[in-house]
Amino acid sequence: MTAVAGGDMPEFMMDTKIQGRAAHVAAIRERAEAEMKAMGVDEAFIDRLVETFYGRVLQHPTLGPVFDARLSGRWPEHMQKMKSFWSSVAFRSGAYGGKPVQAHSGVANMSPDLFPQWLALFSATLTDIAPNPEAKAWFVVTAERIARSLTLSLFYNPALDDPGRKLA
């Protein structure tokens, strides 16, 4: 038996709980796969999106130098990581195990104003290659959420929101 709050839990109950969790995760993945399939999104689309987008990033006058300075000599690895990331996000596969905030911390010339440019280029790429408006909308909304999260994690200073702070 395993000790739990309020008493011991028999092993068979723990096994049932683990099996229930696995079934729940599998159901989430199945729903995500069905949603993506309905929008015409598959692994081939994810590959095309990543390849097309980052090809455009490299050509972008502002984003290109920042990305290339960080990834010079490591572009193939980055591309694989981004394909894994977007596949994991779209299909809820759990395939991506990276740490995006840490990966973006300390990037030379990284600033909050790069994120809107990144999002605009991502949206334009989706306009050109997404199988339909629903797929474009899903990826744009998801990218916006990720960009907000990264921006807050990398640049937000809670002290600046302190109501007791006096402006000079």
pLDDT of res. 3: 52
Torsion of CA 130, 136, 140, 142, to 10 degrees: -100
**Packing angle, helices 75-91 and 133-155, rounded to 10:** 110
pLDDT tens figures, 114-125: 999 999 999 999
Handedness of CA 77, 97, 42, 124 (dihedral sign): negative
pLDDT at 1: 47
Dihedrals phi, psi of 40, to nearest 5 degrees: 80, 20
Mean pLDDT of 152-156: 84
Over residues 6-40, the pLDDT tens digits come to: 556 555 555 566 667 677 677 888 898 999 999 99
Domain count of the chain? 1
In a domain, 36, yes or no: yes
Query: What is the span of the domain harbouring residue 48?
Result: 12-156
Give a yes or no: residue 132 inside a domain.
Answer: yes
In a domain, 30, yes or no: yes
pLDDT in tens, 91-107: 988 776 777 766 777 66
Largest CA distance in the chain: 64
Tell whether 166 is covered by a domain.
Answer: no
Task: Check which CATH number belongs to the domain holding 114 and give it.
Answer: 1.10.490.10
> Model pTM?
0.77
Residue 21 lies in a domain: yes
Please state whether beta strands 7-9 and 2-4 pair in parallel, antiparallel, or not at all (unpaired): antiparallel
